[in-house]
Structures are given as structure tokens and as C-alpha cells.
């Protein structure tokens, strides 16, 4: 099934429809998406990291989860399928997909389903609350999210205990709220997604530029990549040359009624908006005194509105900030998702390399 999940789009599979062996599975996925090819012309990928994504879903054996969700990022121009990052946008479609495929049952009389989703990539559990009718998902509704035209049914995602999921367990994997890399002050944070957060003016931009302008700025990109390489080591991610984490977010004061302005590289293309868990991590950084995000943010309350290139993203982060520590209580966000098509995909023949 092809679904839009939040502001991304991907192919959703029931796990046992794919080869169990990860190498064979990845080979099939590359041939399904049409990778490697900058246009993904011979497959169903959308020629951008945000539309070259896969969700693999199955019933969960865990007591605290209904379904397991594995996220796979399929390279566009490189023949690489990576499970090194999670994706909160595709996560938005997982509950509806699980109901569509009868992996979970919903009482026909209920108008909502609460689905606990074990996120295999990071080992933590998210709770999705989605609208249902007659035991099936409802996609139509009045909720708008930036980066997606029109409105759809509201999906609430709540996260508990997601800090350090990719980086060894700590919210601040380097042990400090502030590291200086290549002369730039950064907060290295993982509250669901490993992100390097830095001030836009510290890398020579205003932070208000459109994505195309930032992507065309070779000096900026070289600087960001140099920072990312060092940050990867400090964040316990090792050599990150070929991985999609950590992400890089440049922050600046808000300009459009939000609390903080953002521009994010994921990590080589500029995000048209901001990732879900990426946003939760950046919003959390904004709460930490001494972090570059906290310096430029104009906060009031638990709900943090991040401005991004196509609008705003609101994250509710409940945390207790005490001298020397940040105790996270819960994070929640609102998304939408939609079933686009359901059918049979024909992987192209032959080797992908």
C-alpha cells in the first residue's frame, strides 16, 4: 500500500510479504523503488529522500505493543537501504495500515482506535490515536499540517521514553548540552532522532533562506558535513559517512509567529518542512538552557511551534529542566495520513548496482 504519512510518502508492507533475509529484502526494495537513480524512473520512489521510504509492519509479540514497525530509508541515488533512523512521518500511517491489513481489530462502534506501536529502529513505543468508523480507518477530516495541501483526519502521536534510542540511551549523547565543532557551538541531541542543532548565523546564513538556496550553497554544505562527521563520533554513531543520521538543524529567531525558526538538512537534502522526531528533538533542545536553540527561541509554555520552510510544526514536549539535567516526561504531536493506493508492485528485474 502506498500511503502519505505526515509530510512524507512511502510504501507500506506487512512484514511477511517481504523476504525475511535482510539482504534479500533490501535488494527487492531497491528494485521496487527504482534505486539507484536520481529520478527513480523505473520504480515507485519519488526521487527525494522524503518519498523514498518504506514501513514494514507486523503484529507485535510484546506486551506493551499491538504492532511492530520497522522503518527503512531507501537511497535515491545510492543502492543503500538503511534501518539506522526512525521516521515519525511514516509512523503516522502505521495504525491505519495495520487496521487495513487486519493486524489489529477495532470495535465497529468505536470512533477512535488507540494503537501502541513498537518502533523497531529505536526500541521505543509510540501511541497513535486515530479516527475510525465501522471498524475501519477514517482518512477524511479537518486537520491541516504544513507541507500537505488540504485537510485530513487528525492523528495524535504520543511518545514516551524516546531519548537516546539511536545513540546509546542518553538525551545528550556527548554528555554535554554544548559542544564546539569546527568553531560552531552545537547541541548534540537525540529525543527520538539524532540531530545537531546550531545557530544559522554561526554557519553564515540567516536561517530564513528557501531550501534551494541552502542546497546551492556549497560552502555551507561542506561546513555542515564536516560538523556532522565529528558529531557522529561524539553521538556514538561512529563513522556517519554513509548514514542518514545525525540530521542538521540550523536555528534562528522566529519570524512568523512561532517560537523558533528551523532549516534542516536530512543530511544532504534540505527538508521541505522538518521530520517529526527531528522536530521533537529540536523542540527539546530549545528547552535546555545554554543551547543555541534556547538562545534564539522565544518560548512560552510546553507547546513549541517550530517554523520551517513550508509552515510550522507544533510539538508538545513536557520536560523538567533542572540544573545539569533535563527530565523528559512526554512528547506529543499531531499528524495526518492517507491511503493513496493499494495493489501489486512489480520489482524491476536484475541487479540494482
Q: Return residues touching ligand NQM (CB under 6 A).
A: 7-8, 49-50, 87-89, 193, 244, 247, 266, 271, 275-278
Distance between CA 115 and CA 95 in Å, rounded?
A: 6
Give min distance, CB of 50 to ligand NQM, in A: 5
Q: Which of residues 101 and 247 has its CB atom nearest to ligand NQM in the complex?
A: 247
Q: Which of residues 42 and 83 has its CB atom nearest to ligand NQM in the complex?
A: 83
Q: Which of residues 146 and 303 has its CB atom nearest to ligand NQM in the complex?
A: 146
Give min distance, CB of 8 to ligand NQM, in A: 3
Distance between CA 267 and CA 286 in Å, rounded?
A: 20
Q: Which of residues 87 and 181 has its CB atom nearest to ligand NQM in the complex?
A: 87
Give min distance, CB of 278 to ligand NQM, in A: 4
Q: Which of residues 135 and 334 has its CB atom nearest to ligand NQM in the complex?
A: 334
Beta strands (DSSP E) in the chain are 2-5, 8-14, 53-59, 67-74, 81-82, 112-119, 124-133, 136-137, 155-159, 179-181, 184-190, 194-199, 247-252, 260-265, 303-308, 311-322, 325-335, 337-341
Distance between CA 173 and CA 157 in Å, rounded?
A: 24
Q: Which of residues 87 and 106 has its CB atom nearest to ligand NQM in the complex?
A: 87
Q: Cell numbers 510484546 correspond to what residue? A: 62
Give min distance, CB of 271 to ligand NQM, in A: 6
What 8-state DSSP symbol labels residue 346? -
Distance between CA 210 and CA 309 in Å, rounded?
A: 6
Give min distance, CB of 252 to ligand NQM, in A: 19
Give min distance, CB of 141 to ligand NQM, in A: 20
Distance between CA 35 and CA 27 in Å, rounded?
A: 10
- CB count in 10 Å sphere of residue 295: 13
Amino acid at each position: 500500500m502506498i500511503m502519505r504519512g505526515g509530510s512524507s510518502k512511502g510504501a507500506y508492507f506487512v512484514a511477511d510479504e517481504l523476504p525475511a533475509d535482510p539482504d534479500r529484502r533490501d535488494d527487492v526494495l531497491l528494485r521496487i523503488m527504482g534505486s539507484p537513480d536520481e529520478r527513480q524512473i523505473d520504480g515507485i520512489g519519488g526521487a527525494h529522500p522524503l518519498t523514498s521510504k518504506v514501513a514494514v509492519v507486523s503484529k507485535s509479540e510484546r506486551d506493551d505493543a499491538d504492532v511492530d514497525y520497522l522503518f527503512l530509508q531507501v537511497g535515491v541515488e545510492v543502492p543503500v537501504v538503511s534501518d539506522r533512523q526512525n521516521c515519525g512521518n511514516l509512523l503516522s500511517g502505521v495504525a491505519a495500515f495495520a487496521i487495513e491489513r487486519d493486524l489489529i481489530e477495532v470495535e465497529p462502534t468505536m470512533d477512535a482506535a488507540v494503537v501502541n506501536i513498537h518502533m523497531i529502529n529505536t526500541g521505543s513505543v509510540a501511541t497513535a490515536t486515530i479516527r475510525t468508523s465501522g471498524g475501519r480507518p477514517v482518512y477524511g477530516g479537518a486537520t491541516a499540517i504544513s507541507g500537505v495541501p488540504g485537510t485530513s483526519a487528525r492523528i495524535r502521536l504520543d511518545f514516551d521514553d524516546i531519548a537516546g534510542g539511536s545513540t546509546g540511551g542518553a538525551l545528550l549523547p556527548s554528555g554535554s548540552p554544548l559542544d564546539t565543532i569546527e568553531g560552531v557551538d552545537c547541541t548534540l541531541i537525540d529525543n527520538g532522532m539524532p540531530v545537531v542543532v546550531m545557530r544559522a548565523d554561526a554557519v553564515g546564513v540567516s536561517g530564513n533562506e528557501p531550501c534551494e538556496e541552502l542546497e546551492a550553497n556549497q560552502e555551507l554544505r561542506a561546513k555542515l558535513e564536516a560538523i556532522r562527521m565529528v558529531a557522529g563520533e561524539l553521538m556514538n554513531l561512529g563513522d556517519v559517512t554513509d548514514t542518514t543520521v545525525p540530521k542538521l538543524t540550523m536555528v534562528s529567531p522566529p519570524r512568523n509567529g512561532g517560537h523558533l525558526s528551523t532549516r534542516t538538512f536530512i543530511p544532504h537534502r534540505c527538508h521541505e518542512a522538518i521530520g517529526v522526531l527531528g522536530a521533537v528533538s529540536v523542540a527539546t533542545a530549545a528547552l535546555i538552557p545554554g543551547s543555541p536553540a534556547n538562545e534564539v527561541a522565544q518560548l512560552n509554555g510546553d507547546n513549541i511551534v517550530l517554523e520551517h520552510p513550508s509552515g510550522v510544526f507544533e510539538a508538545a514536549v513536557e520536560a523538567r529542566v533542572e540544573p545539569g539535567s533535563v527530565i523528559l516526561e512526554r512528547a506529543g504531536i499531531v499528524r495526518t495520513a492517507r491511503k493513496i493506493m493499494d495493489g501489486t508492485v512489480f520489482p524491476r528485474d536484475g541487479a540494482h548496482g
